[in-house]
A and B are shown apart, each in its own frame.
Chain A
Amino acid sequence: MLCQKCNKKNASVHLTKIINGNKSEIYICEDCARENGELDFPLEGKFPLYQFFSGMMGMNAPENAEAVMPVEEAVMQCAACGLTYAQFGQIGRFGCDRCYESFDRNILPLFRRLHGNQKHMGKIPTRAGTHLKLKKKIDHLKLELQKKVMDEDFEAAAELRDQIHDLEKQLAEGGAGDA
């Protein structure tokens, strides 16, 4: 094959570029590649890692994603940023932190394959940590409240409601209080 740039020499360099998910391929000779600076700027990944993800998510390759990925999965969408599961498979990046919840069930196997694990064992941020504890406590109290209402113990329910209210106020203020 002749170089697609100068059409003179034999093409010995195969360039695949993926920019924003768009793939382009050219075959050029070494001199043209050098002149383009393609050989001298080896600072970027030559093989994008995310191509592996799609395989791990149960799709073989972006090209035949539809064929392998069930449609109902592909159209799953993050309510916060609008990223679909199919798009995630193509770019290998989440759109926002809420995507983690939106694609919850489907991505846990991916984490297991990537990290051999699906549970964080490291640092917990102080403020967000307090936040989490508050949230958990509120969830717990809400369950409790439901129970009391079912039991028609309205006095206890009212007390719980006030507690929840206070905690939610704390949460809104940044979770600074003691949790």
Chain B
Amino acid sequence: MPEKKKRRKLDEDKCLNQDNMADETNPSPENEKSLSPESKEQKSVTPDKSYNEKIKQITSKWMEGSGAEAEIVISSRIRLARNISGFPFPPLASDEHREKVLSMGKKVLQEQKDYLSDMNLLDISSFSAVYRQVLVEKHLISPLQARESLSSALILRDDEVVSIMINEEDHFRIQCLLPGLQLKKGWEEASRYDDYLEQVVDYAFHQDLGYLTACPTNVGTGLRASVMLYLPALVITGQINHILSAISQVGLAVRGIYGEGTEMVGGLCQVSNQITLGQSEEEIWQNLYSVIRHLINQERKARQHLLNKERDKLADRAGRAYGILKHARLLNAEETMQFISDVRLGVDLGLLGDVPVGTLNELLVLTQPGCLQYLKGKSLSPYERDLERATRVKQYLP
């Protein structure tokens, strides 16, 4: 319809104007900093090199917004829990045993170096609390491992797609984390690394119960497949609760993007399998895959519905969110996630200027407490974090 097209054009113009306006009125970092007590520390207007380096350290392959269904599926993850036969599991292990497990990890790297030459062992215990938090926010280690520092390590592939946590709840946790919907590839990769590990490690394996794990919820395949999703239209149209309760009936769990107990904000959520025993690995991820496919279809329909019925409202919502992100001085974590979600929906539906999906994914991580403090180079109170968050968002958002 010509009228709609015109309106869309107007929205785009508006957005462009907003963009310019933001540039003109955006106070320089110096002005901004003069409001905060640490103004003397950061003088440069343009981000210094170490800032860029830090950003590079924080951003990761899974955030890049590529892969199948990237506008709805942020990332796919496969995790395999594996333990060494005859060793106490990490929660009850002595210091010596934890050290032995770590040595075993080093042995794996050494003996399998033909296959693992692009992997490095990172000593988590040598990292600051803030940097550990960054790794948690990047989904490379778990909160549990961030706390447990003794002989705690991570074997990480250069592209950060494959990693092996050592001495988490289980002796080894192999993870493959990919952008977009790529569960099959994730499983194949994780399984390949599982084979490398098994060449060196005597696994705790039981003929009836499969891979034995510290927690009874992981026994069997030890496999957790999870998909990080972005379902804003299902939230706006109020269908989400209905759909989520249906999901829990097919052996899957839904949670916020930062794990158990975190809230689902702006339609950002993680769906994962709960059952690990009695189904093959293929069945587990395929079951998840088919549910995700269904969710993607529902989300698409809801987006189309919104576009047909509430185009103006959506464009307004996205524009306001963009304006707030660009101009706010204090942003808390939850509202930031909500506004990023609103902007993203506007961009996806062509109602707002062009912001790369990858940038928005990265912002979700960049605005987490650990990353903010890492970028700032010091620990920040919750209030200071809100200030810092607003500054970073303004800086990072095109």
Report if A and B associate in a common complex.
yes
Among residues of B, the one whose C-beta sits closest to the C-beta of A124 is B205
Partner of A45, one of B92, B260, B279, B284: B260
User: Residue B266 at the A interface, CB < 8 A?
Assistant: no
User: Residue B85 at the A interface, CB < 8 A?
Assistant: yes
Contact A122 B195 (CB under 8 A): no
Residues of B within 8 A of A50 (CB): 215
How close is A51's CB to chain B, nearest CB, in angstroms? 13
Contact B214 A94 (CB under 8 A): yes
How close is B371's CB to chain A, nearest CB, in angstroms? 13
Given A35-B381, A43-B143, A117-B277, A128-B198 contact (CB < 8 Å): yes
- Number of A interface residues, CB 8 Å? 50
- In whole angstroms, what is the CA distance A27 to B219 when docked? 37
Residues of A within 8 A of B280 (CB): 121-123
How close is B203's CB to chain A, nearest CB, in angstroms? 5
Partner of A127, one of B202, B214, B258, B284: B202
Q: Which of A80, A97, A100, A110 has the most CB of B within 10 A?
A: A97
Residues of A within 8 A of B310 (CB): none
Residues of A within 8 A of B209 (CB): 100, 111, 118-120
Contact A122 B216 (CB under 8 A): no
**Binding site of B, secondary structure by majority: helix, strand, loop or mixed?**
loop
Contact A44 B143 (CB under 8 A): yes
Partner of B382, one of A40, A93, A116, A136: A40
User: Residue B89 at the A interface, CB < 8 A?
Assistant: yes
How close is A112's CB to chain B, nearest CB, in angstroms? 9
Residues of B193-234 contacting chain A, CB below 8 A: 194-195, 198-199, 202-217, 219-221, 223
Given A111-B216, A116-B278, A118-B209, A83-B92 contact (CB < 8 Å): yes
- In whole angstroms, what is the CA distance A94 to B263 when docked? 29
Contact B85 A92 (CB under 8 A): no
Given A111-B219, A122-B220, A97-B212 contact (CB < 8 Å): yes
How close is B68's CB to chain A, nearest CB, in angstroms? 25
Among residues of A, the one whose C-beta sits closest to the C-beta of B82 is A125
- In whole angstroms, what is the CA distance A41 to B369 when docked? 7
Contact A42 B382 (CB under 8 A): no
Among residues of B, the one whose C-beta sits closest to the C-beta of A88 is B216
Contact B195 A126 (CB under 8 A): yes
Contact A43 B191 (CB under 8 A): no
- In whole angstroms, what is the CA distance A118 to B263 when docked? 32
User: Residue B37 at the A interface, CB < 8 A?
Assistant: no
How close is A171's CB to chain B, nearest CB, in angstroms? 11
Contact A42 B277 (CB under 8 A): no
Residues of B within 8 A of A93 (CB): 89, 91-92, 169, 214-215
Given A100-B206, A115-B275, A121-B279, A46-B216 contact (CB < 8 Å): no
Given A42-B262, A44-B260, A122-B223 contact (CB < 8 Å): yes
How close is B26's CB to chain A, nearest CB, in angstroms? 26
Contact A100 B212 (CB under 8 A): yes
Contact A127 B198 (CB under 8 A): yes
How close is A150's CB to chain B, nearest CB, in angstroms? 28
User: Residue A61 at the B interface, CB < 8 A?
Assistant: no
Residues of B244-286 contacting chain A, CB below 8 A: 251, 256, 258-263, 275-281, 283-284
Given contacts A114-B275, A120-B277, A126-B195, 4 further A-B contacts (CB under 8 A): A37-B369, A43-B262, A117-B279, A120-B209
Question: Can you give 16 A-B contacts (C-beta < 8 A)?
Answer: A43-B136, A45-B261, A47-B261, A49-B217, A80-B88, A81-B88, A93-B215, A94-B215, A96-B87, A96-B88, A114-B277, A116-B278, A121-B283, A125-B194, A125-B205, A128-B198
Which residues of A pack against B, CB within 8 Å?
A: 34-35, 37, 39-47, 49-50, 53, 80-81, 83, 91-98, 100, 107, 110-111, 114-129, 131-132, 136, 174
Which residues of B pack against A, CB within 8 Å?
A: 83, 85-89, 91-92, 136, 143, 169, 191, 194-195, 198-199, 202-217, 219-221, 223, 251, 256, 258-263, 275-281, 283-284, 332-333, 369, 381-382, 385
The 6 A-B residue pairs with the shortest CB-CB distance in the complex, in nearest-first order? A117-B278, A120-B210, A97-B204, A46-B261, A45-B260, A115-B277
